[in-house]
Amino acid sequence: MESIPQRCEALVLHHTNYGESDIIVTLFTAQYGLLKGFAKAGRKSRKRFGAVLEPFTQAVFQWKQGRGAFLLLQEAELVDSRFGLRDDLQRLALASYGVELVSLLLEEGESYQHIYELLCSFLDYLEQGGDELCARLLFELRLIYLLGYMPHLLHCSECLKIFDDELIRFDANRGGSLCLDCAGSAGIAVDLGTIGSLARSLKVAHRQFEGFSFGQKTLQQAGLILGQVLQQILPREPKSLKFLSQL
């Protein structure tokens, strides 16, 4: 990893109180991926940090290199608090889920420019009151794609046949979409229209969330497809997923 500068824009993913007044913060940057920061007296120093250590906040942080993996945070200049996410429980839960996915799937110290842009755009769209179901579908789909885990969609993952049937099957453990001959009873039944919607969505810029409209069946089937893929690649189930599913 190249030398980390002492000043960089970052998104706060989460924080943990440490001792009587300190805070440990997980930051996400476009250039260096996930970073761990230590804010000495972070709960007391309003002048240096204010509310910028809250999750979803975007700020320009100044730090010194500490011992080990921790950066010693000196001060921060607010870019966007995204305070509006806290006004709606559903949006807050979905934002927390998106942040946790990133925390679980990304490596520390690696560059993730497009994923940084994706997450910021996702949070902005939610704060502005965008369609939550569409937002979740697009975020999960694009995150999987940008990380290189995208399954086969428009052709059979085993025989490579281009689909002409309206009904196919999907099994993430076997590489993605399957024709009926190869699938047998494996996987889940999905409409070719759902697969086509996912493929077309990937042709749009990863920062764009406006202008999408998915039918109820597409949302349901796409949720099963993306859920299978995420279950396969995640080290564990996100804690926020259980809470989100209860809303």
Please check whether residue 185 lies inside any domain of the structure.
no
Please check whether residue 105 lies inside any domain of the structure.
yes
Does 2 have pLDDT greater than 80?
Answer: no
- CB within 8 Å of 3: residues ≥ 6 apart: none
Q: Which residue has the tokens 């049937």?
A: 165
Q: Which residue has the tokens 């806290």?
A: 86
Considering the domain architecture, whether residues 103 and 15 belong to the same structural domain is answered as: no
Considering the domain architecture, whether residues 90 and 75 belong to the same structural domain is answered as: no
Considering the domain architecture, whether residues 146 and 70 belong to the same structural domain is answered as: no
> 72: which 2 tokens?
């010693």
* Mean pLDDT computed over every residue of the chain: 92
The total of structural domains in the chain comes to 2
Considering the domain architecture, whether residues 33 and 117 belong to the same structural domain is answered as: no
pLDDT at 24: 93
pLDDT at 199: 97
Helix H or strand E segment including 234: none
Look up residue 175 and give its amino acid.
Answer: G
Please check whether residue 183 lies inside any domain of the structure.
no
Q: The domain spanning residue 73 has which CATH number? A: 2.40.50.140
What is the rounded average pLDDT of the residues 129-154?
98
Q: In the chain, where does DSSP find H-type helix?
A: 89-105, 113-127, 132-146, 180-183, 192-201, 216-233, 239-246
Considering the domain architecture, whether residues 140 and 230 belong to the same structural domain is answered as: yes
Give percent above pLDDT 90 in the chain.
77
Sheet holding 188-191, edge to edge: 176-178, 167-171, 188-191
Radius of gyration of the chain (CA): 20
What's the pLDDT tens digit per position in 176-199? 999 999 999 999 999 999 999 999
What's the pLDDT tens digit per position in 193-238? 999 999 999 999 999 999 999 999 999 999 999 999 999 999 999 9
The answer to whether residues 123 and 82 touch, using CB atoms and an 8 Å cutoff, is: yes
Between CA 39 and CA 35 the distance in angstroms is 13
**Strand 70-80 and strand 33-39: pairing?**
parallel
The answer to whether residues 213 and 149 touch, using CB atoms and an 8 Å cutoff, is: no
Q: The domain spanning residue 207 has which CATH number? A: 1.20.1440.120
Considering the domain architecture, whether residues 212 and 144 belong to the same structural domain is answered as: yes
Of 81, 175, 70, residue with least CA distance to 120: 81
Considering the domain architecture, whether residues 77 and 18 belong to the same structural domain is answered as: yes
Please check whether residue 223 lies inside any domain of the structure.
yes
Q: Which residue has the tokens 């059979």?
A: 156
Considering the domain architecture, whether residues 139 and 33 belong to the same structural domain is answered as: no
Tell me the pTM.
Answer: 0.93
Count CB-CB contacts under 10 A for residue 89.
10
Considering the domain architecture, whether residues 124 and 27 belong to the same structural domain is answered as: no
CA 144 remoteness from chain centre: 9
Considering the domain architecture, whether residues 139 and 76 belong to the same structural domain is answered as: no
* Domain coverage including residue 212: 84-150+202-246
Considering the domain architecture, whether residues 96 and 73 belong to the same structural domain is answered as: no
At 47, the pLDDT band (50, 70, 90 cuts) reads low
Considering the domain architecture, whether residues 15 and 60 belong to the same structural domain is answered as: yes
What is the rounded average pLDDT of the residues 71-89?
92
At 68, the pLDDT band (50, 70, 90 cuts) reads confident
The answer to whether residues 214 and 197 touch, using CB atoms and an 8 Å cutoff, is: yes
